[in-house]
Amino acid sequence: MLSALREDLAVVVARDPSVGSGREALLHPALTALWAHRVAHRMHGRGLRIPARLLARWARRVTAVEIHPGAVLGRRVFIDHGAGVVIGETAVVGDDVTMYHQVTLGAVGWWSDNERPEGDRRHPVVGSGVILGANATVLGPVTLGDRAVIGAQALVNKDVPGDARVLAPTAVIKEPGHRPKHMEDVFTVIASAGSW
């Protein structure tokens, strides 16, 4: 566990250009959320569900990151900014995953999940090296393949193969007084896949 905590700290320094040192990384809110989760997950696995939930609740209040103690997080997971990130109970997140703010790894909803057999997965499996852009939402027992990129604002409710790119529509610019001659002139892409 100590080596995982060290890796978490090193990842914040390596992936967040606004952090200049390990000491400064200690103040990164997502690091607090990850460390609290790693402890809560161990407690949860040992049957200490109530204390694990209390620790997770404390972490959510302090960091605005909600990770259920039952969720499995791999090594070197990086949550940039962190605010509004939600990771559900049966989610599995691989190694070297990057998430931006307001990412949701959630279930479809109680109306569907209550019908699932006991022990069935309700949340996504995220492969290694996946990038989840700001406000990306992944719902249900879907699988995101290794190194997939889920762009900002994308909604995913189906499996995504490895190395795939899932992009949400980008902004449309309509210039004043300009009448497009062709339909493709109407759409101007102004954002990258991630928009983070």
CATH of the domain at 82: 2.160.10.10
- Picking from 101, 155, 93, 167, the residue whose alpha carbon sits closest to that of residue 130 is 93
Q: Which residue has the higher pLDDT, 45 or 116?
A: 45
| Rounded Cα distance, 87 and 10, in Å | 22
The pTM score is: 0.84
| Rounded Cα distance, 146 and 117, in Å | 27
Start-to-end CA span in the chain (Å): 30
In which element (H, E) is residue 144 found? Answer: strand 143-144
Write out pLDDT tens, residues 57-66.
999 999 999 9
The residues that bridge with 132 in the sheet, in sequence order, are 99, 150
| Rounded Cα distance, 41 and 33, in Å | 12
Write out pLDDT tens, residues 130-142.
999 999 999 999 9
Count Cα neighbours of 192 within 13 Å in the Cβ-side half-sphere. Answer: 7
Q: Does residue 12 register a pLDDT over 50?
A: yes
Tell me the torsion sign for CA atoms 152, 132, 51, 62: negative
Write out pLDDT tens, residues 177-194.
776 665 555 444 444 444
Token output for 52: 């694990």
Write out pLDDT tens, residues 81-108.
889 999 999 999 999 999 999 999 999 9
- What ranges in the chain are assigned the alpha helix state H? 2-15, 22-25, 29-45, 49-63, 110-113
Q: Domain containing 131: what range?
A: 1-192
How many domains does the chain fold into? 1
